[in-house]
Amino acid sequence: SLSFLQQHFGKSAMYLFRASRGEDDRPVRPDRVRKSVGGERTYAQDMTSSIELYAALEDIIDLVWQRIAQQGAQGRTLTLKMKYADFRQVTRAQSLPAPIVGREQFGELARAILAGLLPVPLGVRLLGLSLSGFETPTAQATQDIAEPAPAQYPLQF
């Protein structure tokens, strides 16, 4: 109830009350600059072996890289998200001095981050990746992913 929320959360009570009912009057900003591109998967069966986790990671690498390529995004920070069977969540990120420019580099970095979390203490129910730290907030990094990706990306040394 609203009175319970006011008693426990004070000024935030009305926001929480309205949010719990799906009410939000803030304007939708469809042209806002995207800060990250990512994807994750929740699994029906918890994964415990390194083999299972690396195989699942390859699928997520493909999924996220496809989104990155569609948007032409160039980011410097890769974050891996892992949720255990007890719902504890762990994230690890790696930032590079220059943007990640290819799927190969993206995949190598993702596998290296996962390696740092192995062996896992519990089964893993969710695995995800996201790319952030975009170089410039241009149209390439907006939410509109309808534009085709460029056929070739420049190499930066």
Domain total for the chain?
Answer: 2
Query: Which structural domain range is residue 15 located in?
Result: 1-28
CATH number of 65's domain? 3.30.1490.100
Residues of the chain above pLDDT 70, percent: 86
In a domain, 61, yes or no: yes
| Same domain, residue pair 63 and 111 | yes
| Same domain, residue pair 65 and 101 | yes
In a domain, 147, yes or no: no
Length of the chain: 157
Tokens, residue 5: 């929320």
- Among the listed residues 77, 75, 79, 71, the one whose alpha carbon sits nearest the alpha carbon of residue 142: 71
Query: What is the reported pLDDT for 1?
Result: 85
List pLDDT tens digits, range 100-138: 989 999 999 999 999 999 999 999 999 999 999 997 644
Buried residues in 58-78 as b, exposed as e (16+ CB within 10 A): eebbebbbebbbebbbbbbbb
- Among the listed residues 34, 111, 123, 42, the one whose alpha carbon sits nearest the alpha carbon of residue 78: 111
Confidence class for position 26, pLDDT limits 50, 70, 90: confident
| Cβ atoms of residues 134 and 75 within 8 Å | yes
